[in-house]
Amino acid sequence: MAVDTQTVEKLAELARIAISTETIEEVSTRLGDVLQLVDQLQAVSTEGVAPMAHPLDEEQVLRADEVSEPNRREEFLQLAPQSEEGLYLVPKVID
């Protein structure tokens, strides 16, 4: 799929990036190559292929979820300028 220079200019404007007039032709060609690759990938039949989250069949080993610090909530609430019913009170920012 060919991408013309007007499309590249419009994409650059929408993306808020500056593309010099000298490189627009090259960018147009490269975008066309990427879109051609996407077309090739979409043409591949994936019927019967199970979706996967990761190409390697490995499991993530996680550490045990254990409490390592004491609960100091009341201590921290006493340091706050304002608190009420166990919550920090902050000035209203949005009306």
**pLDDT tens sequence across 2-51:** 889 899 999 999 999 999 988 999 999 999 999 999 999 999 999 998 88
User: In DSSP terms, which residues pair with 87 in a beta bridge?
Assistant: 84
pLDDT at residue 1 tops 80: no
Instruction: Flag whether 17 is in a domain.
Output: yes
Instruction: Flag whether 31 is in a domain.
Output: yes
The CATH number assigned to the domain holding 26 equals 1.10.20
- Of the pLDDT bands very low, low, confident and very high (cuts 50, 70, 90), residue 70 is very high
User: From residue 74, how far is each of 9, 69, 91 by CA, in Å?
Assistant: 58, 14, 21
Domain membership of residue 39 as a residue range: 5-43
The per-type count for the chain, helices as H runs and strands as E runs, is 3, 2
pTM above 0.75, yes or no: no
Query: What is the tally of structural domains in the chain?
Result: 1
